[in-house]
Amino acid sequence: MSGSGSYPAIPSPRPGFTLTFGASAYTIPSTAAMATAREARRGILVFLLLTFALSSIFYYLILSAGRLSAGGGNYVLGLMWSPGMAALLTRLLFQRNLRGQGWGWGRWRYQLLSYALPLLYAAVVYIPIWLTGLGAFNPSFFDQVALRFGWEQTSQLALLLKYLGFAATVGVAGSCLSALGEELGWRGFLVPELMKLTSFSRTCWLSGAIWALWHYPVLLLADYRGAGPLWYSLLCFTVMVLGISFLFAWMRLKSGSVWTGMFLHATHNLFIQGVFDPLTADTGITGLLIGEFGVGLAIVGILVGYFSWRQRHQLPQS
């Protein structure tokens, strides 16, 4: 073998090029891509700092009282709007505008699905519990609703139908007001910014973990918990939130609209906390099965998350 021959020069990699060596390929990110990633990291950090700074005001007010109902529910409303306000402030600081939040409506099918899906996955939990006797219809529910709405002369079936109609319209509208605050933060800002840095799966895990942790102060130190021990409530709630985070993120990215998150969040809260839970009477272990702190929604959350993850190939490529 002769050593006097000359070798061809290896071209310098240009940003954004893919170099191939044998069976391996290496992508050199472009300067613009690196700048975008750097900006996204900075934005996420500022968003999280602002979120927890604003939230700490309402954590203090709620924890001082020891209950979520303190302040007539206004403390909780302020807490739920802390991520949204942090997101809007972060957009203004970095972009000088509010673009990128997903203000567009998108296709109607995604809005309607977002409205209906929490009702469906909640029904998957509660109906078998009622049918098997692990829970029962709560007879006092009808008396409470009749007294609250002035429907004392109404039959139980008519009262239930009227209440469901009211909850599904006026109730959801009110729930949207508070849910939008969180969703402007978690799905309006955090999810699309994380997608600039990592995969759909990691985006869901990270955003879901942050979402769950944000609830921990009121879960650990106030009265936001279930019938079981604290560790059980914490575990079931965390699993449920991580699971449905995949659905919430998928809908946001597929539709391009933050309003899907608002509907998912609003109907989840309204139908579970305002309809299914009060409709269900305890027959022994019911409290360990139902609600956001029961194993039923934790299991359904895993299934919903898995199905959403399986559909990740349908998402638009960034």
DSSP state string for 83-146: HHHHHHHHHHHHHSS-TTS--S---HHHHHHHHHHHHHHHHHHHHHHHHHTSEEE-HHHHHHHH
In a domain, 9, yes or no: no
- Digit-by-digit pLDDT tens for the chain (318 residues) are 544 444 444 344 444 555 555 555 555 567 888 888 999 999 999 999 999 999 999 999 999 999 999 999 999 999 999 999 999 999 999 999 999 999 999 999 999 999 999 999 999 999 999 999 999 999 899 899 999 999 988 888 999 999 999 999 999 999 999 999 999 999 999 999 999 999 999 999 999 999 999 999 999 999 999 999 999 999 999 999 999 999 999 999 999 999 999 999 999 999 999 999 999 999 999 999 999 999 999 999 999 999 999 999 999 986
pLDDT value at position 247? 98
Domain span at 92: 32-314
In a domain, 43, yes or no: yes
In a domain, 10, yes or no: no
In a domain, 40, yes or no: yes
Q: Give the separation between CA 13 and CA 7, rounded to whole angstroms.
A: 18
Total domains in the fold of the chain: 1
Check if the beta carbon of residue 272 is closer than 8 Å to that of residue 278. no
Q: Give the separation between CA 168 and CA 110, rounded to whole angstroms.
A: 18
pLDDT value at position 205? 98
pLDDT value at position 36? 85
In a domain, 190, yes or no: yes
In a domain, 14, yes or no: no
In a domain, 20, yes or no: no
In a domain, 155, yes or no: yes
